[in-house]
Amino acid sequence: MLGLVDFSARSNEMRFQLVDVANGRIAANWLVAHGRGSDPGNSGWLKEFSNRPGSNATSRGSFLMADTYVGKHGRSRRLIGLDPENSLAWQRAIVVHGARYVDGIQALRAGRVGRSLGCFAVEQRKIAEVLERLTKGSLLFASK
C-alpha cells in the first residue's frame, strides 16, 4: 500500500488516497489537512510547501511511515522525510494524526477543513484505519 496526497485539490476534497499498487486500484480516500503556513489566508488551497522549522507549512515529497505513538492528538505515526524538500520532517514533528478540525460536515459547510501545523491530519474517526493500512515501512508521497 502507498499513501498519495494530491495537494492540488482543495482541502474539502478526498485528496489522500490509499493506493493498492499490487492490484492497481485506489483502496480508500480520506480528507487531509495541510499546514497553516501553506495556506495563510485559510482558503482551503495549499499555496506553498516548506521544510523550514517554525513555518507551520506542509512539506512535499516522499516520506517513510515510522513508529506509532500516543500524543496530543491520540495515536499517530511519525514520518521520515526522504527528500531534500522534507528532510526535516522528523525534527519538525511532522506526523500523521487524527484531528477534530478535519471533518466531512465542516468540509461541506465551509468548503474546507481546518489547518494543521504542517502535519497530515485526517478525520479523528478515520485515524485508526489510516494507521492500520499504512503501516511502518509504507511510503507516503505528497505533492501538488
The whole-angstrom separation of Cα 81 and Cα 120 is 13
- Residue 51 in contact with residue 60, Cβ under 8 Å? no
Please name which of 98, 79, 97, 74 lies closest in space to residue 89, comparing C-alpha atoms: 79
Q: How does pLDDT run across 44-98, given as a tens digit for each residue?
A: 999 999 999 999 999 999 999 999 999 999 999 999 999 999 999 999 999 999 9
Cα separation of the two ends of the chain = 20
Closest by Cα among 51, 16, 58, 53 to 37: 58
Contact between residue 101 and residue 8 where contact means Cβ atoms under 8 Å apart: no
pLDDT band at 138 (very low <50, low <70, confident <90, very high): very high
**Residue-level length of the chain:** 144
Place of cell 495515536: 75
CA 130 – CA 76 distance, rounded (Å): 10
* Predicted TM-score of the model (pTM): 0.95
For all residues of the chain together, what is the average pLDDT? 97
> Among 54, 61, 99, 98, which Cα is nearest to 80's?
61
Domains of the chain, first to last: 2-143 (2.40.440.10)
Q: Residues of the chain with pLDDT > 70: what percent? A: 100
Residue 24 burial (CB < 10 Å; 0-12/13-18/19+)? exposed
